[in-house]
Every structure is written in C-alpha cells, then in structure tokens.
Amino acid sequence: MTEPSAKDSLPFTRDNRDLARDHLANERTFLAWVRTGIAVVVFGFAIGRFAIAIRQWMQLEGQGHVVPTSGLSVWFGTAAILGGVLVCLAGLVRYRRTRKQIDSGNFQPAGFIIDMSQWLPLSSVWPLPLISCSSNCISS
C-alpha cells in the first residue's frame, strides 16, 4: 500500500476535482473489466458442465452406450475460464498503467488492449462452424 502524499490532502480545486473524476472513471472502467472477466469465467463453467449434463440426460433416456468422454466442451469451458482470468488481469494492468499516467499528467489512450478486446472474441468464434461441420460431415 502506498502512503498518502501531500498531493492527496490538497483542498478541492477545479484541477483536483478533475483529477478525482479521472481516477473514479478509471476505477469504474477497472470494475467493468472485472465484471466482464467474472462473466466469462461463469460462462466457462457452464460450458464445462454442459457435457456432463448431456451425458447424464442420455443415460436417463436409456442410451447408456454413449462414449464416456466429455468432448470439446470441457476444453472450451477451460479456455473460457482462463480467458476470463486473463481479462481480469488485463484490466488490472490497464488500471495501474492509467493511474500512473493520470498522476503524471501524461495520459495515453489504450491501443493494444482495445485491439485485443476486438480480435480475441473473433478469433475464438471462427472455429465453431468447422467443429459442428466435422461431427456432421464425417458421418455423411
């Protein structure tokens, strides 16, 4: 934890209020990153549990000859969980970098993080049609 500096105890002037507003906006943005990361982690658990639920449903329906593997859903679930953790870590890195930039008065807009947040979901979605086709197209 850092010690409060003399700058932290200054009376509220217009500049200090703007600085406080910037820090509060940075904190809200960080909390949005954390909220998104937690949602991705929960979605990963749901994906991982999906294979188990389907297997149990098939056994209840009398189709006990189903192969006892969990398929790709466990791997996709694990990837989503790890992705959610990475989103939280990226948010923390961005928060700390922005906090230092605000304090120094040298703020630089996000470049790489914004690009990553656009390309990462697109790169994880494109294999889905291939996977669904591979299970249907092979049996034909």
Domain chopping of the chain, boundaries = 11-109
Instruction: Yes or no: say if 87 and 33 are a contact pair by the CB < 8 Å rule.
Output: yes
**Is 50 exceeded by the pLDDT of residue 140?**
no
Query: Cα–Cα distance between 112 and 79 in angstroms, integer?
Result: 21
pLDDT of residue 74: 80
Calculate what percentage of the chain has a pLDDT beyond 90.
32
User: pLDDT (tens digit, 9 = 90+) per residue, 114-136?
Assistant: 777 677 666 766 665 555 554 45
SS3 116: helix
**Is 80 exceeded by the pLDDT of residue 55?**
no
Residue 90's φ and ψ, nearest 5 degrees, are -65, -40
- Of 4, 86, 10, 1, the C-alpha closest to 41 is 86
User: pLDDT (tens digit, 9 = 90+) per residue, 12-52?
Assistant: 565 678 888 999 999 999 999 999 999 999 999 888 887 77
